[in-house]
Amino acid sequence: MAEKEYDVLIVGSGASGGMAAYILTQKGLKCLLLEAGALVDFQRQRGLKPVYELPYRGFGKPGKLPHVVQANEFNANQWVDEQQVPYTHDPKSPYNWVRVRMVGGKSLFWARMSYRLSDYEFKAKAHDGFGDNWPISYAELAPFYDRVDPIFRVSGRKEGLPQLPDSLFIEDKSPDGAALERIGTAGKSRGITVTKIRRSLGDGQFASSFNLLLPAAQATGNLTIVPNAVVRAVTTDKNTGKANGVSFVDRQSGRELHAKAKVVVLGASCLESTRILLNSKIANSSGVLGHYLHDQFYISNGVMGVMPEAKDGKAPRGLLGSAGYIPRFSNLKAPNTKAKNFLRGYACDLYPGATPDAKYFPAWGAELQKQLDSHRGAGIGTTIMGEVLPRFENFVKLDPTVKDAWGIPVLNFQCRYTDNEFNMAKHAVDTISQVFKDAGFDVLNANDKMHPPGYSIHELGTCRMGENPKTSVLNKWNQSHDVKNLFVMDGSSFVTGGTQNPTLTILALAMRASEYLAEQARKGAL
């Protein structure tokens, strides 16, 4: 029996793979979607088991690798088991690679922060001379942002900021509260604006490909989903050099299989898509595949403020108000924004009503308890996110000796921060601390120590797009320069990352690329 050939084969079911399936099936294309993880009832199985039901009582099976997030007894249905799928790096330069393997991917777990990139990102080189511009502008992507917004139901408030374009919001009419108002007033002289957070509301429970994209694609009758399919490589025709499918391993049986298609779309997430291409030994005439790895650095509660009048339970309900956001305010066109010792900028999430934990108080026993009780709900927590510059020397490659459970070479990471990130982090903590003090808050903590690269879970750039095939992997349509019927639609295509959560941009890029793919397929140009 001849192997069935699909119009399009999609690898990965997260934001990009889900959007590709959503668009392409509506265009009448028969699609096969391969997902390395299982199809689970997420609502029923996301809950964590009680400790008494776990064989190792929550301590985990011996041999687990220490990591910020990985599969354990509590959440084995969600995260990748790093014993099965390890990765390597220089012990002195750690990288945190957080991975999900289940239908819906990381779109089931993201924080839903939904911010558009602006031309400060798309045309970054034009502003400061570093790196490269994207081959597209904000104006080119804006119509697709506009179409993604209602699908994911993005909430927020119009601010009219050039560095943070507005969306088609479900308007957030909640009051800012005293904390955000005071921070905004105190920061005004520094060019700081405090905005509402922008979040995808989804269907009220989730805002993922699992519930918003894949069901619609399946309803067309044009989508077949195969879970537990670990893709090994993209296969190519020896005569034409075009992609003709992928080889993969059935995760449960261990069988080696092949799926055939006229077009291949990789949406396995930035680093997994890159790993597949590196193992395929294709799409790299430029020599930049795997290079320019970047994300955002994270500083969790590097600044912890306290509203004095809210201590000891004195704050009336709603005094501190809701969460807010400080978008990038450094190195803009506006006057007095240029930083002395770093390029690009940072943003800051604000969380009024936080409770500082014990690490902020040099006390023990009854005195510590007294301090914790006094500060309960009176804090303003922060998360600072700074743009990491895309550099050629930050990269991934295949490890020559280490393989995963299915014999596929794993990734080796060579990635570290530079003075630009260290200087930006110090500036961020110093500035936010001073603004808090100017707003009349006590500052319990001012620490500019960044989490290791990868901690943001916003890895980007290893299959970058560009106009020049000698310096990029993809063209402006997320299409391989080398293999015209191969598309890569996840975050690996990014040229710069900005300070914003990349998910909304990944969705818009995948929609745009899928529309182009469908039109090219209709013309027979692929």
Write the CB contacts of 204 (distance below 8 Å, at least 6 apart in sequence).
none
- Two tokens, residue 484: 């015209």
Lowest-pLDDT range of 78-87, 194-203, 353-362: 78-87
Residue-level pLDDT at 79: 73
Tell which CATH architecture fits domain 5-42+69-523.
3-Layer(bba) Sandwich (3.50)
Across the range 486-509, mean pLDDT stands at 98
- The residue to which tokens 């294309």 are assigned: 29
Residue-level pLDDT at 76: 57
Across the range 357-375, mean pLDDT stands at 92
Estimate to the nearest angstrom the gap between the alpha carbon of 449 and the chain centroid.
21
Write the CB contacts of 191 (distance below 8 Å, at least 6 apart in sequence).
329, 330, 332, 334, 336, 337
Residue 69 clears pLDDT 70, i.e. is over it = no
Whole-prediction pTM? 0.94
Residue-level pLDDT at 66: 47
Across the range 482-488, mean pLDDT stands at 98
Cβ–Cβ under 8 Å, residues 324 and 317: no
- Two tokens, residue 74: 């509590």
Quote the CA–CA distance of 487 and 84 in Å, as a whole number: 28
Quote the CA–CA distance of 463 and 490 in Å, as a whole number: 9
Q: Which helix (H) or strand (E) holds 400?
A: strand 395-403
Residue 64 clears pLDDT 50, i.e. is over it = no
- Mean pLDDT in the chain? 92
Instruction: Render 112-158 in DSSP notation, one character per residue.
Output: -B-----HHHHTHHHHH--S---SS-HHHHHHHHHHHHHHHTEEE--
Residue 318 clears pLDDT 90, i.e. is over it = no
Quote the CA–CA distance of 24 and 121 in Å, as a whole number: 28
Quote the CA–CA distance of 3 and 436 in Å, as a whole number: 64
Across the range 217-226, mean pLDDT stands at 98
Lowest-pLDDT range of 305-319, 394-408, 466-480: 305-319
Residue 68 clears pLDDT 60, i.e. is over it = no
Q: Quick count: other Cβ atoms within 10 Å of Cβ 304?
A: 26
